[in-house]
Each structure stands twice: as C-alpha cells, then as structure tokens.
Amino acid sequence: MTQTKHWFLVPSMHDPFYVCGGMQIFMHMHELVSKLRSAEIITYRHLEDGYRYLDDIPSDELGTGVLWVTWQSHIIELAKRLSAYSNVVLYAQAEDFGRDQGQVTPIQWPIVCLSRYIAADYSVRDPGRLVLYHGTAVNPGARNAGIDRDLDVLVHKRKSVPYLFHELVPALQEKMTVEIVDQFINQADYFSLLNRTKTYLYWFHKTNWGTYEGFGMQPLEAILCGSIPVSNFYGGLSDYLEAPFN
C-alpha cells in the first residue's frame, strides 16, 4: 500500500529572515509527520541547494500528497500558486492575516491550529471550515538549571509595545538590573538568560497585519526555565497563562 506523501512548503531554509520561532514550530510538525509518513521540505521563494523548488515538481506528483503551508502573510501568493490543488492544509500559527484587505485563507483549506485561541477565531469567522487543534512541543533545552539569578528583569525588544521601552523599562532600570535582548541570539544563549533572570517581561503589540500573538512561546519557555513571566493577556497566551498560577 502506497503511503500518502506530505510536502512542507517554506519560503526558504537559508534566508536569515525566516529563522524564527514560526519556522521552528513548522519544522517540529514536519519531524512529527515524518515519523508516520513520507515527508519532504520544499521551497517556494528561493532556489536552494538540498531542497526541491515548488515550481519544479510535477503537478501530478504534488497532487497525490498533502501540501502543508504556514506563512500566513503569503496567503494570497500561495492561494494563486496552489489553486489547482485540493490537498492543501494550513498550519495556522496566527489569526487570519489581512482579512480586511481580502487576504483570506481559501475556505476549502482545512486548518490545523497551533493554539485553541486560533482555532476559536477561525471557527467563529468561518463556521463551515474544518478546523483542528494540534499544539507543539517546547524545546527540551528550556528547563530550570537551578542557578543563582543575577538579573531582575529580562525583556526582548522584538514585538514589544513602545510604552515598554519609552517608559516602563527606563523606570525599572533606576532600581533593578534589566537585560535587554535587541538582536537575534541562539536558543541556548536565550535559555541561559532565562535561567539568570527572576522576571521575564513580555508585553507585545499587534502585528503589521492587525493580529495578536498566536501562541507566544517565550513566556512558556520562561516558566520552564524558572522565571516569572509578566505579560499582557492577548491572543494565544490565554492557552496557558492563568493568574495567579503562572
């Protein structure tokens, strides 16, 4: 019996712009599926060594499997390029991007959601759509090392609201030791910082597409590293943050 092949479509595997939590989560889904079925990563924006390119694969080959996509800011592009296929699945890591501008996920695409928050959003907006929920795994490196904590506050500049850095952080710096991450660092170094800090400050703003955080892995990693997250409560954070337990 021939197994159904699963194709995981990514814009690039080498472009630093796409080195992010979303890519790591999508690669975890690829790893999970590959334990059960044949799975292959293919690119659709960059021709890269070691990976086949979407337009170079015969349509009869792609049409016999399952096409997984996740970059929701590319929905218009992907919907056009994959319009001939009925076997596309969106692994949604956020709400539907650009809905007000007509950038809507095709109704025939089933959606597997990273968080219950995303699943609820799609279910309310599109009652006739097939919506499923499947979470992700946390990097096993996120664990409490039991070391002394020499930092009072750790804050990541990316996604943070302007108020955080214009007002709150300067006020905290007058009385506390505050570490600011304002550039890309690898996960091992990031987990080391989480183990050194008492509090992780995570106060995010809406994305350029008007959506909230689809899940918010960083506060969960902070909890696992023994740091206390101080966060707003929008979006997917409601999946696991609950005062006063976290």
The span from the CA of 180 to the CA of 136, in Å, is 27
pLDDT at 57: 95
pLDDT at 117: 86
What tokens appear for 113 in the block?
A: 């959601």
CA angle 46, 49, 50 (to 5 degrees): 115
pLDDT of 134-154, one tens digit each? 988 888 899 999 999 999 999
Give the single-character DSSP code of 37. Answer: S
Kind of pairing between the strands at 52-53 and 39-43: parallel
Locus of tokens 């506390």:
176
The span from the CA of 41 to the CA of 12, in Å, is 10
CB 235 within 8 A of CB 212: yes
Q: What's the pTM? A: 0.82
The span from the CA of 53 to the CA of 191, in Å, is 34
pLDDT at 208: 52
The span from the CA of 36 to the CA of 41, in Å, is 15
The span from the CA of 67 to the CA of 46, in Å, is 18
Distance of CA 183 to the CA centre of its chain: 18
pLDDT of 36-78, one tens digit each? 999 999 999 999 999 999 999 999 999 889 999 998 888 889 9
pLDDT at 163: 85
| pLDDT beneath 50, residues of the chain | 1, 209
pLDDT at 244: 61
